[in-house]
Amino acid sequence: MGKKLVIGGSGFVGSNVVRKLVERGEDVRVMLRETSSTKAIDDLDVEHCYGDVFDDDALRRAMTGCDVAFYCVVDARAWLRDPSPLLRTNVEGLRHVLDAALAADLERFVFMSTIATLAVSTDGTPVTEDDPCNWYSDGGAYTQCRVDAENLVLSYAKDKGLPAVALCISNTYGPRDWQPTPHGGLIAAISAGKAPFYFQGIGQEVVGIEDAAEAMVLASHKGRIGERYIISDRFMTTRELHALAAEAGGVRAPWIAIPRRVLLALSSAAQLFGDLTGREVKFVRRAFNMVDKMSPLDHSKAERELGWKPAPFEDSIQKAVAFYRAQHMS
């Protein structure tokens, strides 16, 4: 058996994929940039190799001797005024990786995609993998480049024979969120009693980070080439999610409701301010639109074909809160 390569193995999803592979006794190689923080994997016995996704020689070296590659690189800065970095990393950089993967003759290429590539339900019916993206023109640069990236991977599978599988992963929560992620940082604040608000009329699909990583590993064995799989546990309102975080932290649940229309107005104003001043503001309409349009999803295909079964999501929130407190992030 060959090595398992994780490209982007220092990130939240990537580092958890590395951890799952190590737990299974796999020989793991991690490709990351020289500047990447390795806090999430410093305790693991894995091989490190360094390079950029645009460095064809580094990619070739990284894939030598590997039978499976997990691609966990993404620029998720949906708030950027200039979308060119999103396109450069998420699509143009990916193309370099796919070409290297073709030459490496891998058994599987597991691509970390996102639920942003899925459809928005028009009738309340849970969305499946068979429902094509129906909000591309309204999704903004981040959604568009992620749809383009997933389509690129699937075209390499269909037209060039790359043994690729795409996993549409929802919002991930759990321990070892070192940065932390923006949504994880909010959970940390709520669990410490520092954020007494919830978003009225807004919901999202959620999944535990360890369950998402497990799905990636399962897909390397059982995923059908050229297919995509929804990796999400359930749909929750933000009030439900924030209440879970408060309960895990032993504090009062958020009680101040911020209506959806107010959020839309505030994010629009923030975007205008950023555009006029040239500042990068994270809470902008182009980023908020993606959250606003999320629909309930049907992940039964992943259960059926991959044998994936997520643990209770409450466990992931409790682990996340315990981690943030241990690292004094809350």
Query: Given this model, what pLDDT does residue 276 score?
Result: 87
Alpha-carbon distance of 133 to 268, in angstroms, equals: 24
Q: Quote the percentage of the chain above a pLDDT of 90.
A: 80
**pTM, 2 dp:** 0.95
In whole angstroms, what is the distance from residue 119 CA to residue 134 CA?
Answer: 5
Which residue has tokens 């991959």?
306
Among 30-39, 134-143, 302-311, which is the least confidently predicted range?
134-143
* pLDDT for position 146: 96
Q: Look at phi and psi of residue 106 and say left if phi exceeds 0, alpha if psi is from -120 to 50, else beta.
A: beta
Query: What pLDDT, on the 0 to 100 scale, is given for residue 280?
Result: 84
Q: How confident is the model at residue 275 (pLDDT cuts 50, 70, 90)?
A: confident
Structural domains in the chain plus CATH codes: 3-179+206-234+295-311 (3.40.50.720)
At position 108, the amino acid (one-letter code) is R
Phi, psi torsion values for 96, nearest 5 degrees: -60, -45
Paired tokens of 26: 């796999």
Alpha-carbon gap, residue 216 to 180, rounded angstroms: 21
pLDDT at position 291 over 80: no
Lowest-pLDDT choice from 96-105, 115-124, 266-275: 266-275
Residue 33 pLDDT greater than 80, yes or no: yes
Q: How confident is the prediction for the chain on average, in pLDDT?
A: 94
Retrieve residue 164's tokens.
């690729």
